[in-house]
């Protein structure tokens, strides 16, 4: 038993390093996706202290809009900006209808409101686009679909080109986002709002404008995630569950840290794949990916209650 | 007028702290209990029992459990569905291992299993707070549902992976299983729910309840006045998970009749959380009001188009249903963030001082 837990998995890893590399790569790619979704959460939480549960359904909604528009005969290069327009409208209506009347309510009320948004969007999306699985328009968007094959250590390693595109795209997106948050006027306003609502309002920062912008950025991130994930697994409402995968990432990295979301995402993506392949499947009957990340994050949180990169929690009485 | 309190004098502190300081409250409760115990069973048919009355009561019980944890002790939990599952599976194992055990006893015992699991997953609450804790309870949610699927001993190695409620007799009457009558099950559930509600009212009014509330309002300040936080939080997890576990056992044994692991997945947790929030955090009455709304709404919505003569497909009805529930949650949160119980509190206050506005 002890041998199976402590020795055999590592022997397997070094016995077949090409397979280990493949597992690591797969983990890295899903880690990038987790990081992207977590980024959407972090942005909204930083600027408005809202724990946005609707991020997952926004991913589905964005992807469905893109595919739906294409199926209606809109060319792919047009469907992309149109989808962005839809996401902007969504951000605006969420701010106007849901958030504005709920300003200053306790966190849990706003959290419940985002679950309300989730349910609404599920129903709305199913009425408009239908519930069946759709195929993401990967090729039409100019994303390569082939794969590269290597033979390291005399073994075999296959890397899908669309995964490479996803990783590169995510890096560009995150870099652009960090540049926007740190260098632009609007980005500074967002961070100011995150530090102190009242102080930000008193120097003339418009709460409603910032909220629309932040939700729109979250929508853009959702679209990027939707394209990448959709091209791997198809577009359907089942995608919504990936929102749950982003939650342990947030716990691990800290709710307000952009860096935490990225590091946490990558760490969880890789570790859960390793655990599933080398421990979960042989010892526990598989499918451990549903809970491994949560338990890992829980253990980390016991030692650091604010996550790895979160702001230190200071309480005053 | 109907609620005038004039002439009801209190001469002792005991009278002032009584369960019903206003006499009309007691009369109203009497009317409601008569309705629930006598009039509804006489008038309701099989469908009303199965689709409305029994689920409302069971969801009320689950919400009551969550409300003690979230509304009274201030610890947000998203794992209610899984704790219901622990109660249901524990009850199933007790019933199948010891078939001669009385169902009431089995259900009461199964609560202790979910209470133990609840306390185990409640330990992190001593260090983790707020949304971090909420996500930590999701660990319980996903891990337990995974366990229900993989641990074949739990469902007696049945090929389908589901648990099936056997026919259970109590004092010569069939109470659970395919042959049970809806009215028997209704009385069974009603009895349990009434009993637990009574206990919950008194726990939350008493010393433990006041300790919970002080922890909810500010845990550091509570610690400074000498409250043992570990005891307070873990006892809240214990009581809450116990009630949730019982409701889970009732959920499967007295209503669904069978259960698969994914029945206890996260949508169930959220449904119970909706009931608590829409009904009102920190209110016992709110659980009933919230459960009525959340259970009745889909039933009403699925009949409405037919009644109005609008022909739409059943899948369309389902989608519209999801959409409407989402919209209504947002609407109720905006209209009254303190929940339906607050509506009643305001109305009652107005009735007492009627016809004067203040």
Q: What is the mean pLDDT of residues A211-215?
A: 89
Which residue in A116, A285, A302 is closest to B124 by CB distance? Answer: A302
E-strand spans in B81-192?
A: 163-164, 168-170, 173-176
Which residue in B124, B149, B334 is closest to A102 by CB distance? Answer: B334
Structure tokens, B180: 């049970």
Please report residues of A whose CB lies closer than 8 A to that of B145.
290
Please report residues of A whose CB lies closer than 8 A to that of B218.
317
Q: So what's the pLDDT on residue B200?
A: 93
B3 burial class (0-12, 13-18, 19+ CB within 10 angstroms)? middle
Number of domains observed in the structure of chain A: 1
Nearest CA in chain B to A119: B326
* CB-CB under 8 Å, B124 with A105: no
* CB-CB under 8 Å, A98 with B315: no
Distance from CA of B7 to the nearest CA of A (A): 40
Tens digit of each residue's pLDDT (9 = 90 or more) over A145-200: 777 777 766 667 777 777 888 888 888 888 888 888 888 888 888 888 877 778 88
For CA atoms B216, B221, B227, B228, the dihedral sign is positive
Q: So what's the pLDDT on residue A264?
A: 87
Q: Specify the higher pLDDT residue, A80 or B314.
A: A80
Instruction: Mutate one of A112, A238, A289 to test the B interface: name it (highest B CB count within 10 A).
Output: A112
Nearest CA in chain B to A132: B315
Tens digit of each residue's pLDDT (9 = 90 or more) over A19-34: 788 888 888 888 888 8
* CB-CB under 8 Å, B146 with A287: yes
ipTM exceeding the 0.90 mark: no
Please report residues of B whose CB lies closer than 8 A to that of A98.
330, 334
A62 in any annotated domain: yes
Q: So what's the pLDDT on residue A57?
A: 87
Which residue in A98, A284, A290 is closest to B142 by CB distance? Answer: A290
Which residue in A131, A285, A291 is closest to B142 by CB distance? Answer: A291
What residues does CATH 1.10.3470 cover in chain B? 44-353
Instruction: Say if residue A123's pLDDT is above 80.
Output: yes
Distance from CA of A285 to the nearest CA of B (A): 7
Q: How confident is the model at residue A11 (pLDDT cuts 50, 70, 90)?
A: confident
| Range picked from A220-229, A252-261, B236-245 for highest mean pLDDT | B236-245
Distance CA B340, CA A91 (A): 29
Q: So what's the pLDDT on residue A74?
A: 79
Q: So what's the pLDDT on residue B1?
A: 63
* CB-CB under 8 Å, B132 with A251: yes
* CB-CB under 8 Å, A247 with B135: yes
* CB-CB under 8 Å, A123 with B321: yes
| Phi and psi at residue B176, to the nearest 5° | -140, 160
| Phi and psi at residue A52, to the nearest 5° | -85, 95
Which residue in B70, B136, B337 is closest to A105 by CB distance? Answer: B337
Q: How confident is the model at residue A209 (pLDDT cuts 50, 70, 90)?
A: confident
Q: β-pairing, A157-160 with B173-176?
A: unpaired
Domain that holds residue A235: 32-243
Please report residues of A whose CB lies closer than 8 A to that of B270.
115
Q: What is the mean pLDDT of residues A277-287?
A: 75
Q: So what's the pLDDT on residue B242?
A: 95
* CB-CB under 8 Å, A306 with B135: no
Nearest CA in chain B to A97: B330
| Phi and psi at residue A234, to the nearest 5° | 85, 160
| Range picked from A27-41, A58-72, A284-298, B84-98 for highest mean pLDDT | B84-98
- For residues B107-121, b (16+ Cβ closer than 10 Å) or e, as one string? bbbbbbbbbebbbeb
Tens digit of each residue's pLDDT (9 = 90 or more) over B137-193: 888 898 899 888 888 888 888 878 888 888 887 787 787 877 778 888 899 999 999
Each of the 358 residues of chain B gets a pLDDT tens digit; together they read: 677 777 788 888 888 888 887 888 888 888 988 888 888 888 888 888 888 889 999 999 999 999 999 989 988 888 899 999 999 999 999 988 988 888 899 999 999 999 999 999 888 888 887 778 888 888 889 889 988 888 888 888 887 888 888 888 778 778 787 777 888 889 999 999 999 999 999 999 889 999 999 998 888 889 899 999 999 999 999 999 999 999 999 999 888 888 888 888 888 998 899 899 888 888 899 999 999 988 888 888 777 777 777 777 777 777 888 888 888 888 888 888 888 888 888 888 888 888 887 7
What are A214's strand-pairing partners? none
Distance from CA of B122 to the nearest CA of A (A): 12
* CB-CB under 8 Å, A113 with B333: yes
Distance CA A69, CA A82 (A): 8
Q: Which CATH number applies to B44-353?
A: 1.10.3470
* CB-CB under 8 Å, A117 with B146: no
Please report residues of B whose CB lies closer than 8 A to that of A106.
337
Range scoring the smallest mean pLDDT among A71-75, A147-151, A296-300: A147-151
Long-range contacts of B256-263 (CB under 8 A, 24+ apart): B257/B164, B257/B165, B257/B176, B257/B177, B257/B178, B258/B162, B258/B163, B258/B164, B258/B165, B259/B85, B259/B88, B259/B162, B259/B163, B260/B160, B260/B161, B260/B162, B261/B85, B261/B145, B261/B148, B261/B149, B261/B161, B262/B145, B263/B85
| Phi and psi at residue A147, to the nearest 5° | -145, 150
């Amino acid at each position: 038993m002890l041998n199976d837990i402590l020795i055999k998995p590592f022997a397997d890893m070094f016995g077949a390093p090409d397979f280990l590399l493949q597992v690591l790569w797969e983990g890295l790619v899903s880690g990038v996706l987790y990081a992207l979704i977590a980024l959407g959460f972090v942005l909204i939480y930083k600027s408005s202290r809202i724990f946005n549960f609707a991020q997952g359904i926004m991913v589905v909604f964005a992807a469905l809009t893109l595919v739906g528009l294409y199926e209606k005969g809109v060319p792919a290069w047009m469907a992309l900006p149109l989808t962005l327009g839809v996401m902007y409208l969504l951000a605006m209506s969420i701010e106007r209808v849901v958030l504005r009347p709920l300003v200053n309510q306790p966190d849990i009320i706003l959290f419940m409101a985002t679950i309300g948004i989730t349910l609404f969007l599920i129903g709305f999306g199913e009425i408009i686009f239908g519930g069946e699985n759709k195929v993401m328009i990967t090729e039409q968007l100019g994303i390569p679909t082939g794969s590269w094959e290597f033979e390291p250590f005399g073994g075999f390693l296959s890397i899908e080109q669309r995964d490479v595109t996803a990783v590169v795209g995510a890096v560009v997106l995150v870099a652009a986002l960090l540049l926007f948050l740190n260098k632009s006027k609007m980005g500074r306003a967002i961070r100011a709002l995150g530090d102190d609502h009242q102080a930000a309002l008193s120097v003339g920062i418009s709460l409603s404008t910032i909220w629309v912008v932040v939700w729109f950025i979250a929508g853009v991130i959702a679209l990027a995630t939707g394209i990448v994930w959709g091209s791997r697994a198809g577009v359907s409402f089942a995608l919504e569950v990936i929102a749950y995968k982003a939650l342990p990432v947030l716990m691990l990295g800290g709710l307000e840290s952009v860096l935490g979301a990225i590091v946490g995402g990558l760490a969880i993506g890789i570790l859960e794949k390793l655990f599933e392949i080398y421990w979960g499947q042989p010892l526990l009957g598989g499918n451990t990916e549903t809970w491994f990340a949560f338990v890992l994050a829980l253990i980390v949180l016991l030692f650091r209650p604010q996550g790895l990169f979160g702001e230190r929690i200071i309480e005053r009485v | 007028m109907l609620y005038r309190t004039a002439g009801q004098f209190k001469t002792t502190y005991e009278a002032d702290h009584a369960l019903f300081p206003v006499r009309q409250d007691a009369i109203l409760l009497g009317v409601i209990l008569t309705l629930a115990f006598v009039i509804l069973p006489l008038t309701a048919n099989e469908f009303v029992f199965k689709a409305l009355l029994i689920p409302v009561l069971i969801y009320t019980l689950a919400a009551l459990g969550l409300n003690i944890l979230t509304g009274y002790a201030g610890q947000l939990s998203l794992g209610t569905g899984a704790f219901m599952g622990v109660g249901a599976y524990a009850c199933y194992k007790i019933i199948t291992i010891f078939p001669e055990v009385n169902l009431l006893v089995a259900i009461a015992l199964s609560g202790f299993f979910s209470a133990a699991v609840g306390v185990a997953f409640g330990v992190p609450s001593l260090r983790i707070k707020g949304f971090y804790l909420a996500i930590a309870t999701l660990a319980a949610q996903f891990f337990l549902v995974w366990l229900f699927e993989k641990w074949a001993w739990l469902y007696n190695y049945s090929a389908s992976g589901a648990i099936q409620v056997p026919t259970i007799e109590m004092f010569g009457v069939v109470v659970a299983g395919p042959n049970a009558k809806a009215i028997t099950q209704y009385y069974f559930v009603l009895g349990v729910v009434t009993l637990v509600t009574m206990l919950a009212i008194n726990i939350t009014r008493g010393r433990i309840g006041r300790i919970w509330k002080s922890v909810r309002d500010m845990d550091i300040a509570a610690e400074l006045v000498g409250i043992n936080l570990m005891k307070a939080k873990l006892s809240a997890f214990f009581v809450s998970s116990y009630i949730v576990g019982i409701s889970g056992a009732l959920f499967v044994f007295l209503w669904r009749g069978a259960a698969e692991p994914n029945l206890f997945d996260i949508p169930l947790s959220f449904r119970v959380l909706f009931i608590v929030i829409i009904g009102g955090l920190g209110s016992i009455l709110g659980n009933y009001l919230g459960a009525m709304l959340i259970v009745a709404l889909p039933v009403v919505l699925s009949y409405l188009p037919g009644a109005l003569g609008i022909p739409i497909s059943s899948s369309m009805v389902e989608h519209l249903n999801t959409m409407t529930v989402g919209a209504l949650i947002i609407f109720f949160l905006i209209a009254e963030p303190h929940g339906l119980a607050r509506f009643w509190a305001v109305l009652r206050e107005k009735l007492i001082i009627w016809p004067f506005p203040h």
